């Protein structure tokens, strides 16, 4: 139970920051990090001796528990641990390069697709829920409860979805994009800063009959993309970014970058196992306040009321994930939240 994050349904108070993972001061080189990451890689936890179902079932728990792992393999610039910082090997690119090297080998040797972070069921819920949300918005409706909306099916639904261009940041093996393609989305792009992950995603898409999905190597924190997307998906990427020792700074970089990738009137859908719905909403509100403060400081918004409007606003969240009672609160392992960009 230690790694489970609770999701209060309509609380106005977000949970406090999590405990610190201690770090040492010796191991700093990328080579050493790769060795350390490989020793703790999915090969040891989900290696080729395990079947896909077991690998997928364990994946969400691994990420959710990451903030409780003591990671003595990485150095910190601080003498004392930051009480609001959480560090993990999952925050380093070297970990993901090692992980996807292992997954690519498993794919080539055994045909394994690799992990589905948070599991197949969550991925299917995210894709179908997002489809309903996008169809609703295409018809000029901003729903108050997406799960109760009857989705359009058939030719009308497919026609509406065909106008949405989609970006999946931190796409990994690209399986979420495949699921979105099954739902009717057709203009799909996945990016990841791990070239090995992109190689795996492209190989899987070609094998599974989705050759039109585009995959690019790109770091969302320093994105080179010059276009905007009506739908931007994030399933676990913000979680991993937050697990870096410089997580708070990198999360700010994340929002600055993502705000440039979502088109006006577009949607950002974040799925997290390390943040609750309320925490994600609060993080977006903090970003909006920071952007408005900068605009005011530069006198950009002095005489323009529209500049003072929130850049992102909460639209809805998935309410259909299984819940449980713990410590007097009702929660879920996973939160999926949608934000509308002005």
- Between 147 and 125, the more confident residue is 125
Distance CA 202, CA 8 (A): 38
Q: Is the pLDDT of residue 270 over 90?
A: yes
Using pLDDT thresholds of 50, 70 and 90, give the confidence band for residue 87.
low
Query: What is residue 38's three-state secondary structure?
Result: helix
Predicted structure pTM score: 0.73
Phi, psi of 251 (to 5 degrees): -65, -35
Residue 62 structure tokens: 């691994």
Q: DSSP alpha helices (H): ranges in the chain?
A: 30-39, 42-46, 52-64, 93-110, 120-138, 154-161, 175-183, 195-208, 237-242, 247-259, 277-297
The 10s digit of each residue's pLDDT in 242-268 is 999 999 999 999 999 999 999 999 999
Name which of 39, 191, 197 is nearest 103 in CA terms.
197
Whole-number Å distance between alpha carbons of 250 and 213: 28
Give percent of the chain with pLDDT exceeding 70. Answer: 66
Between the alpha carbon of residue 151 and those of residues 124, 183, 205, 271, the distances in Å are: 15, 11, 27, 21
In tens, the pLDDT along 148-199 reads 545 555 677 778 898 899 999 999 999 999 999 999 999 999 999 999 999 9
* Pair of tokens at residue 220: 């969302």
Per mean pLDDT, which range of 207-221, 230-244, 298-312 is the poorest? Answer: 298-312
Average pLDDT over residues 108-121: 87
Q: How far apart are CA 15 and CA 10, in angstroms?
A: 12
């Amino acid at each position: 139970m230690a790694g489970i994050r609770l999701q209060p349904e309509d609380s106005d108070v977000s949970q406090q920051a999590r405990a610190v993972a201690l770090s040492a001061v010796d191991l700093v080189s990328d080579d050493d990090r790769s060795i350390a990451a490989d020793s703790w890689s999915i090969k040891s936890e989900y290696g080729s001796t395990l079947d896909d179902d077991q690998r997928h079932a364990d994946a969400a728990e691994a990420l959710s528990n990451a903030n409780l792992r003591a990671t003595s393999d990485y150095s910190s610039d601080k003498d004392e641990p930051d009480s609001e910082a959480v560090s993990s090997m999952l925050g380093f690119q070297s970990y993901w390069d090692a992980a996807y090297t292992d997954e690519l080998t498993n794919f080539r040797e055994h045909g394994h697709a690799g992990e589905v972070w948070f599991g197949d069921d969550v991925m299917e819920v995210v894709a179908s829920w997002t489809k309903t949300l996008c169809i609703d918005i295409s018809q000029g409706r901003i729903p108050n409860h997406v799960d109760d909306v009857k989705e359009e099916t058939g030719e009308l639904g497919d026609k509406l979805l065909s106008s949405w261009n989609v970006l999946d940041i931190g796409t990994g093996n690209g399986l979420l994009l495949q699921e979105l393609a099954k739902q009717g989305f057709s203009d799909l792009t996945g990016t990841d800063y791990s070239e090995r992950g992109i190689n795996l995603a492209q190989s899987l898409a070609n094998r599974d009959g989705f050759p039109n999905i585009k995959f690019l190597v790109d770091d969302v924190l320093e994105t080179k993309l010059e276009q905007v997307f009506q739908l931007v998906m994030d399933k676990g990427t913000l979680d991993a970014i937050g697990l870096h020792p410089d997580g708070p700074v990198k999360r700010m970089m994340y929002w600055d970058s993502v705000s440039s990738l979502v088109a006006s009137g577009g949607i950002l859908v974040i799925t997290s196992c390390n943040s609750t719905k309320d925490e994600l909403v609060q993080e977006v509100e903090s970003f909006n306040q920071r952007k408005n403060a900068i605009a005011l400081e530069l006198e950009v918004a002095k005489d323009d009321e529209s500049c003072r409007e929130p850049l992102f606003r909460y639209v809805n969240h998935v309410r259909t994930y299984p819940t449980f009672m713990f410590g007097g609160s009702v929660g879920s392992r996973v939160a999926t939240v949608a934000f509308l960009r002005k």
